[in-house]
Structure 1
Amino acid sequence: MRLEQLAYLIAVHESKSISLAAERTHISQPALSSAISKLEDELEVVLLKRSNTGAHLTEIGEQIITIAKEVLNKVDEIKSIAHGDSNDLTGNISIAVEPSINITMMPDILTTFKHNHPRVNAILKVGESNNILRDVELGKADFGIIMKTEAFCKSKDVNYKELFSDQLVIISGNNYHSIDSTMSLSKALSLPILLYNTEYLTDCGVSSVLQKYGAINISYRVDNLEMMEKILSKGKTIAFVPQFMADEYVKSNQIKKITISDVQLEVSIILIWLARHHLSMVEKEFLKIIKAVCSNKM
């Protein structure tokens, strides 16, 4: 029995798919299947039920997976003692984040992590909150950083930790002359609004907050933040964004921030991961840096 066989079994358990598990562990699908089959032969039990709908643990597999996680945790503890400052950690880690987090938090998170752990490969994906949630649920991403939405609240297999709370504000071009420094929400919703990508259609992110207050006058949808800034700078539309993102936009001197005068649109930015996911020492170190950077930013 080899440690990597246990790691492969855990990966299949988390993703419920041999192909996804192979992708996450960076080996070929036949190699992963062969490793688990050899483990089954050695133990003389069937660990996985394979079907067209995926791969699931057998009853004995469920018992073994619990011990397998404990074994790998102990291995991580041994490595932690041996490495001391953890600079010799190796491996891969993947995270999916919303665009607002990508441009504000991730540069510090990734550079700090890479400085501390140069031999770990960090893979970053940017998307909308509901898509990120799905990637985490399917095991395509180890972690996600999203705005807490109703879709997330319905998810039963995902753990989360709140990184910080914020509120939505309005941004527009400096030359949008009909807009003051404060505005009522009803007036804002009557103006042409720009949304990132397909937010209103998929009920995620900003739109999941706004839809509670009435219809949204959508004029543009874009999937690029640079294009979003260029359209806003023309002075013909507004956008709702978290305050931390607005603070980033106003640095360009082409965008201004408008406070909503009568309603506080509170949002929560959360870190999510699969409940059944085994957190490796690499991932635990990554979590520490995420929490530290977000704490310093707010």
Structure 2
Amino acid sequence: MELRQLRYFVAVAEERNFGLAAQKLNVSQPPITRQIKKLEDEMSVVLFKRTSKGSELTSAGQAFLEDARKILNQVKIGVERGQAAQRGEIGTLEIGYFGTPSYLLLPKILKLFKGENPGLELYLHRLSKKEQMDALKTGQIHIGFGRYYNQEHDLCVEHIFNEGMALCLPADFSMEIDNSNWHSVFSQIPLILFPASGRPNFADEILAILKREGVDPEVANVSEDIRAGLMQVAIGTGAMIVPNSVTEMRWFGVRFVKLAALSDDCPISIIYRKSDTSPHLRKLIHSIQHFQESSAKIEI
């Protein structure tokens, strides 16, 4: 059974005349007659009966007409969806993320992206840097969000934002802190770093920044992740320097001081396959560029 046979059948059924159906379809009548006959032979039924005025559906034809219309409509929908997918208007986008970029930046970008591309479904996967890179190479994700990716020849790493940083202190730490005296905190309380794995990582970045600022703190603890670090601060083990997005978290026993001197630190990057020509990925990168244009930096 061919689609053209269904189209010919529906046209004849609607026009009740082979000649008029041929005019409607802009074809000659003999091909329509032949294809309807083939369709009847394949189905082992008679679909039309000849009348003095043209052709009328038999009971078998009437029953088949509804299904034929449904099939043609479903094919039309399928074609339109395939074309829309090729344009990047529908489909799925697989996204890897890790760490604090998911606290604020990623939701903002994805909200903008979803507004611009409502037909695309987004799937989010919490993956470490290495897991993201492996997933990209095997085609499991389209893009990753994070920091401090290692360079590899088949992957593209793009810096998209500097988030800025804040000081995280125990809530009962009595010293008044501002942007002029924050360095002195670490003469009174030790430093807590995070995370413990995935070097180079945020801990390495903090040590490099403090060295640049002339601060040589005592390191009291290297916590597994940001949550473990926040708990260490809450119980008074020490103080941390954290990405600005962390200040959005409600956490018992800590307070934050945003540091203007570090507003250009804490980079956020994306990573994707250089060979990926997916229109979905290009649309997300386009949304990221829109977000960059509307925000000189992340306002938190």
Normalised-by-shorter TM-score class: 0.5 to 0.7
Q: What RMSD, in angstroms, separates the aligned Cα atoms of the two structures?
A: 4.0
Alignment-derived partner of residue 201 in structure 2: 205
Q: Number of matched residues?
A: 208
The alpha-carbon distance between structure 1 residues 251 and 219, as it changes in their structure 2 partners (threshold 3 A), is closer
Write the deviation string for residues 183-222 of structure 1: whole angstroms up to 9, x where unpaired.
Answer: 32893797140414x3xx3313312323444787252524
Q: Following superposition of structure 1 onto structure 2, how do residues 239-258 of structure 1 map, counting pairs within 5 Å? A: 239-243=240-244, 245-249=245-249, 254-257=254-257
Correspondence for 2:100: 100
5+ residue gaps in structure 2?
1-79
Counterparts of 1:127 and 1:264 in 2: how far apart (Å)?
Answer: 27
Gaps of 5+ in 1: 1-78
Of 268, 277, 280, 1:279 maps to 277
> C-alpha distance in 2, partners of 1:156/1:188?
44
Cα distance in structure 2, aligned partners of 1:188 and 1:130: 36
Report the Cα distance in structure 2 between the residues aligned to 1:138 and 1:161, rounded to whole angstroms: 20
Give the 3 Å change call, closer, same or farther, for CA 175–296 of structure 1 in structure 2.
Answer: farther
After TM superposition, the structure 1 = structure 2 runs for residues 144-293 of structure 1, keeping only pairs within 5 Å, are: 144-147=144-147, 149=148, 152=150, 154-178=151-175, 180-181=177-178, 182-184=181-183, 187=186, 191-196=190-195, 198=196, 201-212=197-208, 213=211, 217-219=219-221, 221-223=223-225, 225=227, 228-243=229-244, 245-249=245-249, 254-257=254-257, 259=259, 266-276=265-275, 278-293=276-291
Q: Is the 8 A contact 1:183 1:258 kept in 2?
A: no
**Bigger Rg, structure 1 or 2:** 2
Pick closer, same or farther for the CA change 1:101–1:188 going to 2, 3 Å. Answer: farther
Return the TM-score normalized by structure 1: 0.54
Compute the displacement of 1:104 (Å).
Answer: 0.3
Aligned pair in 2 of structure 1 residues 92, 165: CA closer, same or farther (>3 Å)? same
Displacement after TM superposition at 1:102 (Å):
0.6
2:288 aligned counterpart, secondary structure: helix
Match of 2:98, as an amino acid?
E
1:76-115 to 2 correspondence within 5 Å? Answer: 89-115=89-115
